Amino acid sequence: MTKLVTIDRHIIDQERLHPGASGRFSSLLYDVALAAKIISREVNMAGLIEDIMGKTGDTNVQGEEVQRLDDYAQEVMIKAMDHSGHLCCMVSEECEDIIPIPEKFKKGKYVLLFDPLDGSSNIDVNVSIGTIFSVHRKVSPGEDGTLDDCLQAGRKQLAAGYVVYGSSTMLVYTTEYGGVHGFTLDPSIGEFLLSHPDIRIPDPPSKTYSVNEAYFSRWSRGQQQFVEQLRGTANEPGLGFRSRYIGSLVSDFHRTLLTGGIFMYPRDRTSPEGKLRLLYEAAPLAMICEAAGGRASDGDRDILDLVPEGLHARTPLYLGSSDLVSMAEAALKAG
Ligand code: AHM
Ligand code: MG
């Protein structure tokens, strides 16, 4: 039998390698993994439990319809994390303001930012969805988390990760110490087991691009030319790329991480800042992408250097194999 490494053991082993790492931080990741198991259980039962699928009838801070499972995942994340004593506050894609830690609990020195269930419009049709999270250190004085603690550049993240609820449930994370580690949930024992140690984006990558091409006519000429260069046109053969787009960021990114290629959510005429959120979507996936040897850009600057202007700031996003992200930047400049 090969070595069995649970996520808890892995976190402890990593800590031994880095004596500066504090136990509190490890137990924070442990709590995220617990929340992921609970959300995974519910996602897997989605077709069977009444009142869990479908919309709540509300719209969230982004103006999007809230799915019942969005609400559920949000509650699970908050309940799993609020009492641990490690956090000074939380921020969620589903909440307009900072989520404070209740007075009855101790406060800690970290901020947790998360998208509880990304791609939730795919829930009802059994397409993979995910949870994304990011951890920052508290930087402002005082016990309560403030906007200054939340609005930090991605470069300052201490850890980031995602969970993909797919044909199996996987948790992938990285920390400031580097290395991208992937765990698969064994539902029979309820443990995440190390299945993808030290993930690196393959080089050479697969010739795959991922973008919602329905928005082609709204893109800048540079963006259009880049996609034409990859896939060809009626008159030019192009580089022979194929396209894969699920429309569920975690799944599209997971494929890009494991096989290489490029994921894009560009700005366009109707969404000048793009659609994806810097704090809960772009920055955590950018940290993972860079730690796996890839690049993440807004088309001009590294995502990890962007300082968010607000909790729900959006950004264009280019993620994946380094050379392809650099090619996209060059095409956008030239276009
Ligand atoms: P959500 O956070 O409301 O679920 O929206 C984000 C999702 C991403 O998962 C995905 O990459 C994108 O929206 C797809 O958008 P589009 O349908 O415009 O291609
Ligand atoms: Mg989202």
Q: Which residue's alpha carbon is at the smallest distance from atom 18 of ligand 1?
A: 212
**Is residue 203 domain-resident?**
no
Instruction: Return the SS3 of 314.
Output: strand
Shared domain for 182 and 221, answered yes or no, is no
Core vs surface per residue 7-19: b (16+ CB within 10 A) or e = beebbeebbeeee
**Pocket of ligand 1, candidates 59, 248, 314, 317: which has the most ligand atoms within 8 Å of its Cβ, to mutate?**
248
In a shared domain, residues 28 and 176: yes
Ligand 2 centre and the CA of 130: distance in Å?
Answer: 9
| Structure tokens belonging to residue 255 | 């494929």
Atom number in ligand 1 closest to CA 248: 9
246 & 189 share domain: no
Number of domains in the chain: 2
pLDDT at residue 70 in the model: 86
Question: Could you identify the atom of ligand 1 that is nearest to the CA of residue 212?
Answer: 19
For residues 223 and 331, the answer to whether their CB atoms sit within 8 Å is: yes
**Distance from Cα 248 to the centre of ligand 1, integer Å:** 6
Same structural domain for residues 130 and 255? no
pLDDT at residue number 41: 92
Q: Is residue 201 part of a domain?
A: no
83 and 137 share one domain: yes
Whole-number pLDDT of residue 305: 98
Residues 22 and 106 in one domain: yes
Residue 294, domain member (yes or no) = yes
User: Looking at the domain assignment, is residue 2 inside a domain?
Assistant: no
Question: Hey, which of 58, 61, 67, 121 would you mutate to test ligand 1's pocket, going by the most ligand atoms within 8 Å of its Cβ?
Answer: 121
SS3 at position 284: helix
Cα(161) to ligand 1 centroid in Å equals 18
DSSP bridge partners of 110: 87, 137
Are residues 215 and 171 part of one domain?
no
Instruction: Give the CATH number of the domain where residue 18 resides.
Output: 3.30.540.10
> In terms of residue numbers, what domain contains 316?
208-334
Residues 160 and 246 in one domain: no
For position 229, what pLDDT does the model report? 97
Same domain, 11 and 133: yes
Q: What is the CA radius of gyration of the chain?
A: 19
Q: Which of 139, 161, 196 is the last residue of a domain?
A: 196
Q: Using an 8 Å Cβ cutoff, are 308 and 278 in contact? A: yes
Specify the pLDDT at position 122: 85
Q: Which of 173, 196, 219 is the C-terminal boundary of a domain?
A: 196
Using CA atoms, how far apart are residues 8 and 194, in angstroms rounded to an integer?
10
What's the pTM?
A: 0.94
Q: Which residue puts its alpha carbon closest to atom 17 of ligand 1?
A: 247
Question: What is the whole-number distance in angstroms between the Cα of residue 229 and the centre of ligand 1?
Answer: 25
- d(C-alpha 196, C-alpha 17), whole Å: 19
**132 C-alpha to ligand 2 centroid (Å):** 8
Reduced to 3 states (helix: H, G, I; strand: E, B; else coil), residue 45 is: coil
Pocket of ligand 1 (CB under 6 A): 64, 93, 115, 118-120, 212, 247-249, 265, 275
Residue 254 belongs to domain with CATH number: 3.40.190.80
Residue 1 maps to a domain: no
Q: Between the CA atoms of 241, 246, 250 and 251, what dihedral angle is there, to the nearest 10 degrees?
A: -80
Considering only CA atoms, which of 268, 250, 256, 263 is closest in space to residue 314? Answer: 268
**Does any domain span residue 261?**
yes
**Boundary-marking domain end, from 167, 196, 225:** 196
How far the first Cα of the chain sits from its last, in Å, is 55
Residues 6+ apart with CB under 8 A from 320: 201, 205, 256, 260, 261, 262, 263, 289, 294, 295
Residues 6+ apart with CB under 8 A from 200: 180, 292, 293
Position 202 in a domain: no
Question: What are 197's two structure tokens?
Answer: 């140690």
Classify the phi-psi angles of 37: left when phi > 0, otherwise alpha if psi is within -120 to 50, otherwise beta: alpha
- Mutate which of 276, 278, 280, 312 for ligand 1? The one with the most ligand atoms within 8 Å of its CB, which is 276
Q: What is the pLDDT of residues 248-257, one digit of tens each?
A: 999 999 999 9
Same domain, 219 and 154: no
Q: Residue ranges of the chain with pLDDT lower than 70?
A: 1-2, 21-24, 49-57, 60-67
Taking the CB of residue 331, how many other CB atoms lie within 10 A of it?
Answer: 21
Chain centroid, CA 335 distance in Å: 29
CA 280 to chain centre: 6
